[in-house]
Amino acid sequence: MNVDRCWEQYYKTLKLIYLEENKETCQREIDHLVDTAIELKEKTYSNAVLDLGRQFREVCPKARIMWKTSSIAGNFYPPISISDIYSPVIANVFDQTTRLECRRQEYSLRMPLQEEPNFTGIQQHAQVSDCSLVVSLININRYKTTMPVVKQVAENLYATNLYFNGAQRRLVLVSTENIPTMQDDPTKQMSVHSANKINKILELGLLKLTSLSYHSEGSNTAIDTYRLCGWIPDISSINEFNFLKVHKAFSRGECLIAMGTGGFVPKENIFGVKLRKYHDYAVLDIDMINEVVTLRDPLISDTLLTINFDSIRKYFLQVYCNWDSSKLFMFTKDTQIFYSDKKFNPYQTLAGKPTFYLKNNSDRDEYAWVLLEFHLDKNNNTTAYLQEIPDRISTVRLGYNDNSAETGFQLIKIRLKPKQCIWYFCYSSTDKMLTFHTYSTSSDVVFVRSKMPGCDFDVTECAILPENIVPMQYPNHSETDIYYLASIDFSIEGEPGITIITDMVVCLETDDDLVNFQMFHWDDLDFNSPIYDEFYMNERMFEKKDLPLTSGERYRIVASTARPPISKGYQCAVSGINIHADYPCSYKLRESDVRYNSMMFKLPHVFTLASTGITKISLVNRNKYNKVFMRIYPQTQEDYRYNYRVISADTGEDLVKPGNNIQKLYGGIVIKEFLVSDQTNLELHLSFQDNGRVPVELKCQLYVGSVKIITLS
């Protein structure tokens, strides 16, 4: 029996149990492995198969997520330890064969990696743009315990575990067979200079992971160090850097430090070694007495730079720290979510975004850090961040000023008071798997995804239906045509009579739409008395702040646009402050078509109304009992007066009190709910008078709402 084939089938089954949802398929493959183990009679293989059976029985959703986020740019990096590598055939199952790009013509040869046993120190190759990676190698070589373990799998094939995509031990296979080599001098290769071959292998592994090229861009030392050894990345501006505070941690071996320049460096050589633009330097020492920092340029291994604090602040832009979580915290926990751009981002507000709370359940102060990490995949041009939610979420727009939002990592540090709870929202500019790493000094500190409690916030999102688009006017602004967009039933539930200071926003999907909304009391069916009379249109988003609303009351929100909307959906969100905290209240939003008085069955009808007679509309009701509401909207700005009757088509009896000399209000002509019984069919009679001599015809829209179905005759 071919041992390598047995191991290859083992690794295929290992992959299957985490990626295949069909348990029967997985069980058949495991049973086959058991038969193979019995026949092979090899202890290591038998133990591995037994452990695989245990993994299958204990597989959990979190483990599946880790496996399903293993693919990056055609390579598959499973979350398994290098201690689980038993055969080189593992490379056949977990394909990581993509070769690094090299654009240097003088390095056109491809040869196996050569060692440099006599080289002193660690030095970046001049043609490889990975200064941050080499600085990371310089730093972690000073702490041998942080060095990743590298295992040889076969000739010119090595394996290591790196930290990325939410996992602490993703398998990275590194081929050292095809290293760009100088055509004119085969002793020179594009590789970091080091006597330790492990540094060369780690460079290859990280370059393959992040850029698939020897010409990488966009990384920094904090991120590269995290991926190599898992120490928490902390990126800060040089102006925020506290030399004294960090020096204490640095001297205790709790952190690694690097510094990066920006676009401004001195032209002259004033430090013995000329500073380079946009370049990272390893920090080897901080002398608080003389206020100087000792740095190493990764391109020059045999020379140190000594720079005083003032010059550091003048010529350096950022500080990169990496913290040893095992020395700072006792507890860690990871939380994963998939952020859907389609689901969470159609509206540029915080409403509807994923929300989390960080809470200290203990009776004393506790420290907690939360590290957001977005997963590498086919699209890494992503902005992602976690941000504290203000008291009034609905009116706060998206935006984050921290450059770390574009690096794939963001670190939040906080000291939590006893029982303190802080709410956060999450944003990503694209579809992205995100991991939140929580580090804390107590198990009483929790980071949980949850919807915010009711009184603080509520939101509804709905589609815009094409038939909604009917010209209307606002009260006191009848000269301006607007288009009905949507209406929402809004209430504040709780102890009646409590004043809630409320913010409200209606947001559309595109900036090309101009939007407004008005609010009315529930019984104001004519929409003649808006709670505030403020008519103007805003691009995409209209918001009102500090509305003093009352619990126990119901309101109607009517949104409109300046022209037929381009957006296919809208969002309405509210938040507020309960000034009587002893009486909890909650918001409730529900889409409710106010044109039909929120009734279940809706019958729209467009007709023409002439000034020369009475227009009759016949309606069929086949129900023994029904409740009916009507709204008639003549599409005109003229101040005509209207008459209406609703009668039984069978007896001619009036079913509602006739309306005479009625003025069309903002909500049109409203015929309030009335009862219909005994399968009575209806007739609506409508007329108006025009004082002019020329006959006039008006286009009208009829909205009939009912408890049970009604149709046109």
Query: How is 444-476 classified by DSSP, letter by letter?
Result: TEEEEE-PPPGGGEEEEEEEPPGGG--EEEETT
Question: Distances from the Cα of 571 to the Cαs of 344, 540, 541, 559, in angstroms?
Answer: 11, 11, 9, 11
- pLDDT band with cut points at 50, 70 and 90 for residue 392: low
Closest CA relative to residue 672, chosen from 596, 619, 620: 596
Is residue 97 included in any domain, yes or no?
no
Residue type, 252: R
Task: Name every residue whose Cβ is closer than 8 Å to that of residue 231 and which is 6 or more positions away in sequence.
Answer: 146, 225, 255, 256, 322, 323, 324, 325
pLDDT at 581: 61
Give the whole-angstrom CA distance, residue 602 versus residue 408.
49
Q: Answer yes or no: do 252 and 225 share one domain.
A: no
pTM of the model: 0.82
Domain carrying residue 446: 329-452
Q: Cβ(98)–Cβ(74) under 8 Å?
A: yes
Residues whose CB is less than 8 angstroms from the CB of residue 476 and which lie 6 or more positions away in sequence, other chains included: 533, 535
**pLDDT at residue 534, as a whole number:** 73
Six-digit token string for 419: 């029982």
Q: Determine the pLDDT at residue 235.
A: 94
Supply the pLDDT for residue 404.
62
- Which one is catalytic: 125, 193, 279, 437? 279
**Active-site residue (options: 75, 141, 308, 361):** 308
Identify the top-confidence range among 255-259, 512-516, 564-568, 585-589. 255-259
In terms of domains, do 30 and 145 share one?
no
Helical H segments across 59-108, by residue range:
61-68, 90-93
Chain centre distance of CA 37: 46
496: domain CATH number?
A: 2.60.40
Q: Which residues contact 283 (CB under 8 A, 6 or more apart)?
A: 250, 257, 258, 259, 293, 294, 295
pLDDT tier for residue 455 given thresholds of 50, 70 and 90: very low
Q: Distance between CA atoms of 465 and 173, rounded to whole angstroms? A: 53
pLDDT computed for residue 54 by the predictor: 95
For residue 640, give the CATH number of its domain: 2.60.120.380
> What DSSP designation does 403 have?
G
238, two tokens: 């040089």
Examine residue 70 and state whether it is found in any structural domain, yes or no.
Answer: no
Domain membership flag for residue 175: yes
Supply φ then ψ for residue 136, to 5 degrees: -60, -45
Domain limit, last residue, from 325, 354, 370? 325
Determine the pLDDT at residue 4.
92
pLDDT at 398 over 70: no
| 470 and 442 share one domain | no
Cβ neighbours, 10 Å, residue 521: 14
The answer to whether 199 and 208 have CB atoms below 8 angstroms apart is no
CA 337 to CA 354: how far, in whole Å? 9
Residue 361 shares a structural domain with residue 467: no
Domain count, the chain: 6
What is the predicted pLDDT for the residue at 427?
92
One domain, residues 251 and 369: no
Identify the residue whose tokens are 């003389």.
Answer: 290
> Is 72 within a domain?
no
Q: What pLDDT is stored for residue 476 in this prediction?
A: 46
Residues 632 and 549 in one domain: no
- Residue 569: inside a domain: yes
Q: What is the DSSP string of 17-41?
A: HHH---HHHHHHHHHHHHHHHHHH-
**More confident: 401 or 199:** 199
Q: pLDDT at residue 465 above 60? A: no
Fill in the amino acid letter for 94.
F
Output the domain CATH number for residue 274.
3.90.70.10
Strand partners, 700: 607, 634
Assigned domain for 149 exists: yes
245 and 199 in a single domain? The answer is no
The predicted structure's pLDDT at residue 358: 97
Please say if 131 is a catalytic residue. yes
DSSP lists the bridge partners of residue 608 as 699
Same domain, residue pair 628 and 650: yes
pLDDT at 475: 47
pLDDT of residue 52: 95
Has residue 90 been placed in a domain?
no
Six-digit token pair at 560?
């409109």
Catalytic residue check, 462 = no
Q: Tens digit of pLDDT for each residue in 654-670?
A: 999 999 998 888 788 99
Please give the Cα distance from 274 to 268 (Å, whole number). Answer: 7
**Lowest-confidence range among 31-45, 523-537, 617-631, 675-689?**
523-537
pLDDT of the residue at 220: 92
Question: Which of 519, 395, 515 shows the shortest CA–CA distance to 459?
Answer: 395
Last residue in a domain, options 543, 564, 592: 592
Q: Is residue 15 part of a domain?
A: yes
Output the pLDDT for position 492: 86
Q: Please give the mean pLDDT across all residues of the chain.
A: 89
| 321 and 334 both lie in a single domain | no
Catalytic residue list contains 623:
no
Q: Let me know whether 299 and 280 are in one domain.
A: yes
- For 485-541, how does the pLDDT look when each residue is reduced to its tens digit (9 = 90+)? 888 899 988 888 888 888 888 888 888 888 989 899 999 988 888 888 777 888 888
The pLDDT > 70 percentage for the chain reads 92
Triad 457, 458, 461: Cα angle to 5°: 145
pLDDT, average across residues 551-575: 86
Rg over alpha carbons for the chain, rounded to the nearest Å, is: 35
Q: Which residues contact 141 (CB under 8 A, 6 or more apart)?
A: 122, 147, 196, 199
Question: Which of 113-117, 356-360, 382-386 has the least mean pLDDT?
Answer: 382-386
Cα dihedral across residues 152, 157, 159, 163: positive or negative:
positive
With a pLDDT cut of 90, the percent of the chain lying above it is 63
Residue among 131, 321, 572, 700 flagged as catalytic = 131
User: Which of 592, 626, 661 is the C-terminal boundary of a domain?
Assistant: 592
Whether 224 and 236 share a structural domain: no
Residue 653 and residue 531 share a domain: no
pLDDT digits (tens, 9 = 90+) for 328-353: 999 999 999 999 998 888 877 787 78
Q: Does 10 have pLDDT greater than 70?
A: yes
